[in-house]
Structure 1
Amino acid sequence: MTGTPTAQDLFAGIPVADFDHSLAWYRQFFGVEPSFYPNDTEAVWAVGEHSYVYIELLPDRAGRSMLMVMAVDLDNTVAGLARRGLEPHRIEHYEEGMRKMVYADPDGNEISYGGVSTATA
């Protein structure tokens, strides 16, 4: 294979220290139950076609992850998170109305939604 590698599926993993506590937080974050459980220490959410975010019980590695999901509708996504009681840990602004809304899970892992606000598009 030459050039940029291509992927069939993408799994982004987040190590957590307390599986049950983190599972509750990620249910709140995504607003849905996990798509599937590969085993007793992992939960997986489908976040797009062939794109998944999963948590895994790995206490020694917890709190060091960061990942971003590009939202189709950032404003609606952020409003849904607010309705579920979650506010961003920080907001980053970029050119042409691009924003990154950073949320921190109970371990300090950062999971973000990025996109262009319709108010600034």
Structure 2
Amino acid sequence: MTINHLLAVVPVADFEAAHRWYERLLGRRADNAPMAGLLVEWRMTDNGWLQLTHDETRAGTGLLNFAVDDLPAHPAELHGHGLEPGEIVQANKGVQLSTIVDPEGNTITFIGHFREVY
């Protein structure tokens, strides 16, 4: 089986408020809006997308991880967008984490020193 794209889906109940919040989190507008008021998408990597979707049944249960090159720079940038990420904490094998929870309760974790093989 060949997978061409990975789409991470974050469910929210208040779609318009969440849409605005994720624009602040990501520092830009969505790349696609294939279903007005129900689904927007951001291209995060060449073949990786973040989809924000209206789904009241699953809202607030999402877990989303972003591996980043410079984790210490991310909290400062998010503060500049009016958001409050958690402090950077040490995990295992040199990995660092900083977490923020969206207004719906979905957890977004930024990962520093991520490696494909440990």
TM-score in terms of structure 1 length: 0.83
Q: Is 2:64 the counterpart of 1:64?
A: no
Q: Which residue of 1 aligns with 2:116?
A: none
Distance in 1, Cα, partners of 2:6 & 2:87: 26
Tell me how many residue pairs correspond in the alignment: 112
Q: CA RMSD in A?
A: 1.7
Instruction: List runs of 5+ in structure 2 lacking aligned partners.
Output: 114-118
Alpha-carbon contact 2:64-2:107 (below 8 Å) kept = yes
Instruction: List runs of 5+ in structure 1 lacking aligned partners.
Output: 117-121
Q: Deviations over 1:68-104 (max 9, x none)?
A: 0101222222221111111224654213432111111
Distance in 1, Cα, partners of 2:17 & 2:99: 20
Distance in 2, Cα, partners of 1:42 & 1:24: 13
Alpha-carbon contact 1:42-1:57 (below 8 Å) kept = yes
Q: Is the helix fraction higher in 1 or 2?
A: 1
User: What's the offset of the Cα at 1:29?
Assistant: 0.4
Distance in 2, Cα, partners of 1:7 & 1:69: 20
Instruction: In structure 2, give the amino acid aligned to 1:87.
Output: E
Q: Which residue of 2 aligns with 1:32?
A: 28
